[in-house]
A and B are shown apart, each in its own frame.
Chain A
């Protein structure tokens, strides 16, 4: 009996104690969520008004009537200087850049890590650290020589020029190296005895084992590639290579003939530009969990 009373009093006391903490926690969480959600939400509501209203009254909280119209215009109306690019083309370009960037980075860094970890290279450690120190040298540092090289190769205004100079990845190489070093050595030896050469071992065993690593790096690199602004601006002058991120600015910039910039369309395009990275994070997150719970190692 004594035990029971003790328990009930404890249970009775506990909710009161937790409630304040819970309220505090929720307050912080809600505040944080609002901070994150409000800008895109306001972008969406503002995008539902016509350009004149936005130009006059600024950001709109309520929903207007022009949401469909603005989205349609942003996606399908030919715009820009040459009147040849529309939102769908830019969306496609962004996808090409994002996916090409992520896939390229994964392939290059996996192969680099494979070479460093599994082959008795001379100066392998040195090579790794040289790769690693390039983390300290982002694109912006080498942007002029990179531009010159691409320009001399005649790769300006090509997808190759857009993607290839960016795919060497110290981060990816580092992650894959750490992962490969955690794979038991006997696996490579067993594969050797099973008649799998270096290429087969890589494709049949290492790549499937790295699935979750690949997914993680794909997310990071896709978003990174999707949001590239400076490099595409430099390397592509042809409007048919414009990405969404650039396109948004292009719409706002059309300040010719005393025209009001199409703020509604720009915001609509901004929302379109936000969806794929978000979708990819959500999609791969499920994949992540699956990979972790069905862990083979």
Chain B
């Protein structure tokens, strides 16, 4: 178990491509941190730098109290689960799990005991003598987990470990991984492009975009108080509504709609107004006209896609709420309104 700290970490590839801009953050001991962002945002590069599979161009990386910039991956006391699991195809599950211990000169009897323990923890006992090709996707995933767990490392690194599984299994493994990490209390860094995984698994989320950190925060903070329009639109499904608006003396006016809402801000001029689809009430008494074009049935919820003042807008209502296409009235919850700078996209 260890705290991980990145101080001014930067990555520039020999080709000159800046994969990760100067970045600093600290992961607490036992914390589950998820790095999330669209592909090419530098999240995998960041993880691979922590693992030691990628050189650090600049900055200091500490695992525990030790600077590990130039330490070999094998000596960083980490374990990594890869997207394609990277199981050794010619070895049985038992050997796959025990390989890391064997290379470290652990006595055979101890390896056997530890592998048995790990297998029991992951429900793999009956598959120990099979080869990876004879296992299902979920079982392979568990073997990869077993390989990480068995060494009892200071830090788990996950590189999109669930993206090769089908949706149902993914939900199940999500819970299993989280539960396992809780039980072992091992610090974990988890990379994903799936915002649902990030929201459900993380103690803290780090949202990355184009090699820069957009926001660091708990899932709830990220969801309710996004630091930028990027975070607002990336996190949450459906994403936050972002529409053009004007602020004038503490009053906000949505472009194309004449109504006025008060807002406690000192800014003036054009802004981007953000509101989550579920923070909108659909009622006849509402003051804002909303043109519903498409109804999307999600079972527990209904999504209403349409237009507000000529701008695309989405409203989420519960299944009990009757809804139909056409003109209706809505109320935007005042305390759910978020304002962003039009130029920089940052929250105001």
Contact = CB atoms under 8 A, between A and B. Distances in A.
Interface of A: 184, 186-187, 189-196, 200, 204-205, 208-209, 211, 294-297
Interface of B: 51-53, 72-74, 78-80, 82-84, 86-90, 99-100, 103-104, 131-133, 147
A217 B83 CA distance: 33
20 contacts: A184-B84, A186-B86, A189-B82, A189-B86, A190-B86, A190-B88, A191-B88, A192-B53, A193-B80, A195-B74, A196-B74, A196-B103, A200-B103, A204-B88, A208-B90, A211-B90, A294-B133, A295-B133, A296-B133, A297-B133
Nearest to B74: A195
Main SS of the interface on chain A?
helix
Contact of B104 (A186, A195, A209): A195
Contact of B73 (A192, A204, A295, A297): A192
A186 B90 contact: no
A190 B80 contact: yes
A196 B99 contact: yes
A204 B103 CA distance: 10
A121 B82 CA distance: 26
Contacts of B88: 187, 190-191, 204-205
A203 B83 CA distance: 25
A221 B306 CA distance: 71
Given A205-B88, A209-B89, A297-B89, 5 more contacts: A191-B88, A192-B72, A192-B73, A193-B51, A194-B99
Contact of A190 (B82, B90, B131, B133): B82
Nearest to B148: A193
Contacts of B84: 184, 186
Given A186-B82, A295-B133, A193 B90 contact: no
A205 B51 CA distance: 21
A101 B63 CA distance: 50
A296 B89 contact: yes
Interface core residue of A189, A191, A204, A295 (most chain B CB under 10 Å): A189
Contacts of A204: 88, 99
Nearest to A188: B86
Given A194-B74, A194-B99, A296-B131, A189 B53 contact: yes
B74 A209 contact: no
Contacts of A209: 89-90
Contacts of A186: 82-84, 86
Nearest to A200: B103
B51 A296 contact: no
Given A186-B84, A200-B103, A193 B79 contact: yes
B330 to A, nearest CB: 49
Contact of A192 (B74, B90, B131, B132): B74
A186 B89 CA distance: 12
Contact of A184 (B53, B73, B79, B86): B86
Contacts of A194: 74, 99-100, 103, 147
Nearest to A189: B53
Contacts of A195: 74, 100, 103-104
A200 B73 CA distance: 15
Contacts of A295: 133
Contacts of A187: 86, 88
B272 to A, nearest CB: 40
Contacts of A211: 90
A186 B158 CA distance: 13
Q: Which 4 A-B pairs have the closest CB atoms?
A: A296-B89, A186-B86, A194-B100, A195-B103
A6 B51 CA distance: 68
B156 to A, nearest CB: 11
Contacts of A294: 133
B74 A296 contact: no
Contacts of A200: 103
A193 B133 contact: no
Nearest to B99: A194
Nearest to B90: A208
B114 to A, nearest CB: 14
B191 to A, nearest CB: 14
Contacts of A205: 88, 90
A192 B104 CA distance: 12
B94 to A, nearest CB: 14
A204 B98 CA distance: 13
Contacts of A190: 80, 82, 86-88, 147
B32 to A, nearest CB: 20
Contact of A296 (B53, B72, B90): B90
Interface core residue of A189, A190, A191, A205 (most chain B CB under 10 Å): A190
Nearest to B54: A189
Contacts of A193: 51-53, 73-74, 78-80, 100
Nearest to A196: B103
Interface core residue of A184, A205, A296 (most chain B CB under 10 Å): A296
A64 to B, nearest CB: 52
A295 B131 CA distance: 11
A296 B103 CA distance: 23
Contacts of A192: 52-53, 72-74
Contacts of A189: 51, 53, 73, 80, 82, 86
A52 to B, nearest CB: 59
Contacts of A196: 74, 99, 103
Nearest to B95: A204
Nearest to B144: A190
A186 B72 CA distance: 16
B148 to A, nearest CB: 9
Nearest to A209: B90
Contacts of A208: 90
Contacts of B53: 189, 192-193
Contacts of B147: 190, 194
Contacts of B90: 205, 208-209, 211, 296
